[in-house]
Amino acid sequence: MSDIAAALHLDTILAHRRERTTAALTLLHPGHTPTPSNDEALPLAYALAHHRLEGAETAARGRDTTVLDWYRNTAERAFSRLIHPSRLGPRIVIAPQQDEMIHGLHSETPYYVLSADTTLASEPLTTLVDDAFAHITDAGLDGLVHEHAAVICLTGRRRPDQILRSFAITRLPATVFTDHTGDAAILGRDLVHEAAHNWLNDALATLQVTIPEDDTYFSPWRGTERPAFGFLHACFAFPLTLIYAARALPAASGPGHTVLADHARRQHTHLARAQDDFARALKLVTNDSLRERLETVFHRARSLPSETIA
């Protein structure tokens, strides 16, 4: 196991997500003991339990007992028909239209919850995701994406001159939302980035670590001062994308190669600028094991020789 794979392997996350999945399913089906998922199926089971919980909660808030009942009694079977077997385990890949995204209570950013109306992404998009998984596997980050990107919501294809947006939300762990350009190597980068956010959210939850919001830190990615939570997330997710880019570059070609090389150069510069504030912010992480893991990832990316990312 590489140093990065070891840093990302946190047994307590697995125990935490097993426990949370069982709790969600028990709440949805009182009196029914859910069948425990095996290690390969657990990430998707964890993601789907949270989609069902979120959908059921929204239905209950709207006093819609029909939809509430669907999420409790029918969703499991309905969602199982959406599952796509992949090299990283069972996944659900969707690509909803912009008007299907919902404006929830929790975020200004529209997001998506699996429902009775959900359909699969087209075959070319599913193939694109499979190809992205191949790049991720080659880069040695398949464990991260296997565990933290079980539902992949493609939020739109963008032209090269447009901005790519991606996000993750704590209410839907193991789900990632991302735009794409049609290039698998670039999509691989963004899946790694969002899976990293989900990893850190799970780690903070399972280790019961709270990041104080009092101080701010200069984020070279934003060019502004940011609270510690967002800054530390950036200092974890971007280094992993740099590691991904450096490892994926030799096999990438065409636009993907150009974009990843440009990304790697920029991240190298940003990490150098973030280093002092990262050291300061890291002191807020009270759990020794988590602090060491964040430090390992940051410094591993920081230490990549510039010739490997050129």
Partner 1 sequence: MTTTDTCGEFLAAVAKLRDDGTVRLTAHTSSVSADAWTAPDPDAQVTPATPTDSAS
* Cα–Cα distance for residue pair 251/113, rounded to 1 Å: 35
Instruction: Determine which residue in the list 263, 290, 293, 301 makes contact with partner 1, applying CB under 8 A.
Output: 263
Rule CB under 8 A: say whether 156 interacts with partner 1: yes
Rule CB under 8 A: say whether 248 interacts with partner 1: no
Rule CB under 8 A: say whether 201 interacts with partner 1: yes
Q: Which is nearer to partner 1, 107 or 119 (CB)?
A: 107
Binding track over 52-91 against partner 1, x by CB under 8 A: -x--xx-xxx-x-x--x-----------------------
Rule CB under 8 A: say whether 106 interacts with partner 1: yes
Rule CB under 8 A: say whether 24 interacts with partner 1: yes
Rule CB under 8 A: say whether 233 interacts with partner 1: yes
Rule CB under 8 A: say whether 169 interacts with partner 1: yes
* Cα–Cα distance for residue pair 105/157, rounded to 1 Å: 26
Residue in the structure block whose two tokens are 């993601």: 47
Residue of 137, 126, 158, 118 lying closest to 255 (CA atoms): 158
Element (H, E) at 143: helix 142-148
* Cα–Cα distance for residue pair 249/262, rounded to 1 Å: 11
Q: Which is nearer to partner 1, 27 or 251 (CB)?
A: 27
The one-letter code for the residue type at 88 is: L
Residue in the structure block whose two tokens are 């209410």: 171
Rule CB under 8 A: say whether 27 interacts with partner 1: yes
In the structure encoding, which two tokens stand for residue 285, read together? 């992480």
Rule CB under 8 A: say whether 151 interacts with partner 1: no
Rule CB under 8 A: say whether 205 interacts with partner 1: yes
What's the min distance (Å) between Cβ of 54 and partner 1? 9
CB-based contact 33:8 (threshold 8 Å): no
Rule CB under 8 A: say whether 9 interacts with partner 1: no
Residue in the structure block whose two tokens are 């973030």: 274
What's the min distance (Å) between Cβ of 268 and partner 1? 15
CB-based contact 58:37 (threshold 8 Å): no
